[in-house]
Amino acid sequence: MKKFKEYRTPNDRKLLYFGNPNLEILDELANGYGDLWHSSLDQGFKNSFQDIIYQTAVYWWYLNDFNNLDQCISWRVNSNEFVVRKDVWENNLKGFDNNYNGEFIKGLDIGYNLLRNLSGIPLYVKGLYKPLENKVEVSRFDCYIFYRKHFKSHHSYYMMNRKGLFAFPKEFSAYNQAKKKYKKQFESISVAPRKLKAIQGKPTVSLVIPTMKRQKYTQLLLEDHKTQTYPISQVVIVDATSENERDSKYYKKEDFPFKIDVKWQTSKGSCRARNEAIEMCTGDYIIFADDDIRIQPNFVENHIKLLQTYKAEACNGLDVMAENIHQDLSDLKNRLDKLESNNQRWKVGAISSFSNANSCVSKDFVIKTIGNDINFDGGYGEDSDYGLRLINAGANVLFNPFSANLHLKPPVGGYRFWGAQAKVLGKNRKQQPWELDKPVKYYRPVPSPTVTYGLLKHFKPNQIKEWRSKHFYIYLFKCYCFCC
């Protein structure tokens, strides 16, 4: 059996490695946000093991590997050439899974398990290892072992049927063999968050709040920012409340210790609002917030601390949904205590979704991504699109459990007011921009057309096709069960 070699950085971080990595860059990598590093995308592993689409055809951001980046998150690990933190290997990954027969699938399993289940970060690094040519294949047996280990049984049944009638006997045989052999080895333990370091320097922070018909709730958020342990320098409010509904008692500049810039929005949509606000921001970091959240005093401080500690460019905070609009920060504390007691809070890892309700992004990458895609205005999916575009631009986007918010979700106001017409059917419906020459009449498209637009934008045609097939099956069986 092959054995790891050990490398110790000047900061006494212990790393284990296979193969012959470029040791000169390990010190820098160990100081960053990764837990495992490889160059597998230059060794034949890029976009390998496409059988995973039968479980997650779309929606999961890391289904496809990213292009033209020197570093990016990738779970497709070459089991013969990678570097890993010693404590992560011993405490979380706990070695290769010997249920598998093949060698390549063992590396894919390590990377996938670390990324999707253990809140760890497998990172492709160009130049860490020399390029190689590998033909990465996974046997039917190993594929079903992988599915039994990571997914519910119905995903294996679905894959078996999607392989086609002529392949079914071999698929069924492999499935039965995997079912007999697979044995769960150990309970998974998530990678523990690092201790946050004190803030270095004096970075400035701008806060962006798009709002509409919710001045009262926006004012509550501004009051929370008055008590922050690390103060923001600027808040930019883009408010689409009509002139006859505005109340002058809100947003008074003399009431706050930070600069307040208010723009009364004449365009339509939250994406346009955020883009208009970005143009006015002066901070080194930009916090994006919804108008209906409440935050604790260490909210801003913990956002900056996490980004600096992990050397990341963006993060998404913990979004806690309120049980009613009258809840306050004491309720948020109780909810967080409950999450902590159930071991559901303290996980930092690569995000697979994004929320503009609570996020902090380096101003450089906000400019690099050129703001929000206005094609999502009036619909859904703009948050995920923005987060995925940040990653495509080379940003490290992490989940931040240290900066939590309470999301009140008032029943009135907000930018969905403009999108409410999408729910109307029949003669009273006004045509939506995305309808073009085929307006909706009596049947509402599901999912939202803007969600479909986001999937078409980021995923491959065969993956979109598989998504449609799978959700047809799901819809069909739901209807069948309902009728029975």
Write the pLDDT tens digit of every residue in 229-266: 999 999 999 999 999 999 999 999 999 999 999 999 99
Q: What is the CATH number of the domain that holds 344?
A: 3.90.550.10
Handedness of CA 465, 149, 152, 60 (dihedral sign): negative
The residue behind tokens 């289904």 is 63
Same domain membership, residue 460 and residue 363: no
Q: Report CA 370 to chain centroid distance, whole Å.
A: 19
Residue by residue, pLDDT tens for the chain (484 residues) are: 578 999 999 989 999 999 999 999 999 999 999 999 999 999 999 999 999 999 988 989 999 999 999 999 999 999 999 999 999 999 999 999 999 999 999 999 999 999 999 999 999 999 999 999 999 999 999 999 999 999 999 899 999 999 999 999 999 999 999 999 887 766 789 999 999 999 999 999 999 999 999 999 999 999 999 999 999 999 999 999 999 999 999 999 999 999 999 999 998 889 999 999 999 999 999 999 999 999 999 999 999 999 999 999 999 999 999 999 999 999 999 999 999 988 889 999 999 999 999 999 999 999 999 889 999 887 889 999 999 999 999 999 999 999 999 999 998 888 777 667 667 888 788 777 667 677 787 777 777 788 899 999 999 999 999 998 887 777 666 654 444 4
Q: How many CB atoms lie within 10 A of CB 63?
A: 20
Rounded-to-10 torsion of CA 470, 471, 476, 482: 130
Closest CA to 123 of 194, 190, 63, 69: 69
Same domain membership, residue 117 and residue 243: no
Q: Say if 431 falls within a structural domain.
A: no
Is-contact 368 263, C-beta < 8 A?
A: no
Same domain membership, residue 68 and residue 30: yes
Is-contact 59 39, C-beta < 8 A?
A: no
Ranges of beta strands (E only) in 226-324 are: 234-239, 259-264, 285-289, 293-295, 314-321
Write the pLDDT tens digit of every residue in 71-108: 999 999 999 999 999 999 999 999 999 999 999 999 99
Q: Say if 169 falls within a structural domain.
A: yes
Same domain membership, residue 329 and residue 221: yes
Same domain membership, residue 477 and residue 359: no
Q: Say if 445 falls within a structural domain.
A: no
Q: Say if 82 falls within a structural domain.
A: yes
Same domain membership, residue 227 and residue 167: no
Last residue of one domain, picked from the residues 118, 146, 181: 181
Is-contact 477 405, C-beta < 8 A?
A: no
Same domain membership, residue 251 and residue 284: yes
How many residues in the chain?
A: 484
Same domain membership, residue 161 and residue 293: no
User: What does the block give as tokens for 422?
Assistant: 């999408």
Instruction: Report how many domains make up the chain.
Output: 3
* pTM: predicted TM-score of the whole model, two decimal places: 0.92
Same domain membership, residue 111 and residue 159: yes
Last residue of one domain, picked from the residues 366, 384, 407: 407
Same domain membership, residue 372 and residue 333: yes
**What CA–CA distance (Å, rounded) separates 454 from 59?**
10
Domain extent, residue 372, equals 205-407
Same domain membership, residue 256 and residue 118: no
Same domain membership, residue 230 and residue 168: no
